[in-house]
């Protein structure tokens, strides 16, 4: 309780003296997004803090201090792509760094991509995967999208606006205002930009300044102050595999594997060559694992489905389809030979004939 009181006392004190004591931090953030320093004295800049309640500050602080592995991944990718750190907070405002975030407009993932935009930047979306939930792939796509918007409008703060309301909206706002100056576009009376977009910008700047003011430096994580690096590695996998089996090969639980691979729509991998992410320390075990199931030693040409009928046995179905019962059980994650009527089985069509029944 004392810790919480101390934090809020520090917050109140910091914001009461923000314009004097924290000028360098403010300047650093605004310069990074191409804002003219005269904006520091603009009424709309001051209002960012005067309108920020303790609840807002508490909320931003909580999100930034959660043990969320997505934060260092996003920060590392932004650095690699040459995009200012401020855009980390764009992701926070969009989704709270949640990979499964979904808006009413069907925008998905940490960066809240709509399907057409995501696909235009190379993200795959099909029945098997949705790479808008892949933090590495989507963050790379978002960084490149933001760089394209920066190139189009010439200033990072205009890229922030365009990310929220679209480039057409920003072009119209600039044309109507006959200016691309920040204070002009944020004018509350003229309303050149939608209220949502004006608030979007203010929230990003507010969150940035809260983080830069060091009030998130408590607890055990210190996520924003670590040396940022990716601690996961992309590993290629074969088509038509099973996440249950892949997790076992890596010595992980299925839930832990899915936590760093949230882009899979089911526990089955696509019918084409693909990849998973693994913790770096698990990669060698995965590659050298001797725990591969029989079917994983064969190349799968195709997948067919079969609905179990009365009188069917696992042995008969396997024999009919030139696979072993062990392969069939492994591929469908079955713990026994028991089948139920109308149960759907997925049967791999192998390039190598496994017609001889293996001992089980």
Whole-structure pTM value = 0.74
Topology of the domain comprising 2-225:
Lysozyme (1.10.530)
Query: Which band of pLDDT confidence, cut at 50, 70 and 90, is reported for residue 331?
Result: confident
Q: How many residues would you count in the chain?
A: 360
pLDDT tens, position by position, 168-183: 999 999 999 999 999 9
- Equal CATH topology for 2-225 and 232-288: no
What pLDDT, on the 0 to 100 scale, is given for residue 77? 94
pLDDT in tens, 204-213: 998 888 887 6
Q: Which homologous superfamily does the CATH classification assign to the domain defined by 232-288?
A: LysM domain (3.10.350.10)
CATH entry, 294-350, from 3.10.350.10, 3.40.50.970, 3.40.395.10, 1.20.1560.10: 3.10.350.10
Q: How confident is the model at residue 236 (pLDDT cuts 50, 70, 90)?
A: very high
pLDDT class of 349 with cuts at 50, 70, 90: confident
**Residue 229's pLDDT is what?**
53
Confidence category of residue 224, pLDDT binned at 50, 70, 90: very low
Task: Report the percent of the chain where pLDDT is more than 90.
Answer: 50
Residue ranges per structural domain of the chain: 2-225, 232-288, 294-350
Indicate whether 226 pLDDT > 60. no
d(CA 205, CA 218): 21
In which element (H, E) is residue 161 found? helix 156-165
More confident residue, 214 or 333: 333
Task: Please give the Cα distance from 340 to 87 (Å, whole number).
Answer: 52
| 187 pLDDT more than 80 | yes
Which pLDDT score is estimated for 43? 81
How far apart are alpha carbons 324 and 94 in whole angstroms? Answer: 49
Q: In angstroms, rounded to a whole number, what is the distance separating the alpha carbons of residues 197 and 186?
A: 9
């Amino acid at each position: 309780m004392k810790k919480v009181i101390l934090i809020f006392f520090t917050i109140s004190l910091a914001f009461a003296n923000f314009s004097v004591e924290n000028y360098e931090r403010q300047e650093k953030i605004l310069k990074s997004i191409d804002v003219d320093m005269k904006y520091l004295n603009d009424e709309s800049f001051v209002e960012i803090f005067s309108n920020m309640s303790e609840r807002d500050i508490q909320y931003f602080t909580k999100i930034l201090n959660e043990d969320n592995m997505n934060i260092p991944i996003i920060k590392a990718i932004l650095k690699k792509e040459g995009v200012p750190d401020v855009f980390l907070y764009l992701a926070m405002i969009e989704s709270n760094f949640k990979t499964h975030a979904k808006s009413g407009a069907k925008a998905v993932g940490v960066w809240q991509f709509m399907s057409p935009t995501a696909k235009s930047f190379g993200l795959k979306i099909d029945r098997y995967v949705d790479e808008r939930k892949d933090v590495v792939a989507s963050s790379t796509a978002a960084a490149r999208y933001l760089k394209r918007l920066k190139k189009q409008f010439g200033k990072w703060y205009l890229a922030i606006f365009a990310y929220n309301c679209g480039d057409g909206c920003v072009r119209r706002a600039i044309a109507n205002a006959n200016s691309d100056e920040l204070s002009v576009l944020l004018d509350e009376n003229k309303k050149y930009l939608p209220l949502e977009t004006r608030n979007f910008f203010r929230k990003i700047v507010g969150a940035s300044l809260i983080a830069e003011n060091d009030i998130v430096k408590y607890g055990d994580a210190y996520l924003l102050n670590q040396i940022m690096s990716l601690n996961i590695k992309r590993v290629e996998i074969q088509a038509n595999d099973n996440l249950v089996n892949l997790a076992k090969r890596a010595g992980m639980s299925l839930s832990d594997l899915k936590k760093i691979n949230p882009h899979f729509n089911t526990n089955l991998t696509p019918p084409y060559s693909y990849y998973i992410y693994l913790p770096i320390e698990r990669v060698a075990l995965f590659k050298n694992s001797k725990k591969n199931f029989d079917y994983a030693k064969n190349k799968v040409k195709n997948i067919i489905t079969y609905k179990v009928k009365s009188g069917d046995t696992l042995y008969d179905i396997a024999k009919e389809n030139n696979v072993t019962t062990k392969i069939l059980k492994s591929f469908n994650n079955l713990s026994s030979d028991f089948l139920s009527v109308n149960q759907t089985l997925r049967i791999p069509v192998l390039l190598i004939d496994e017609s001889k029944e293996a001992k089980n």
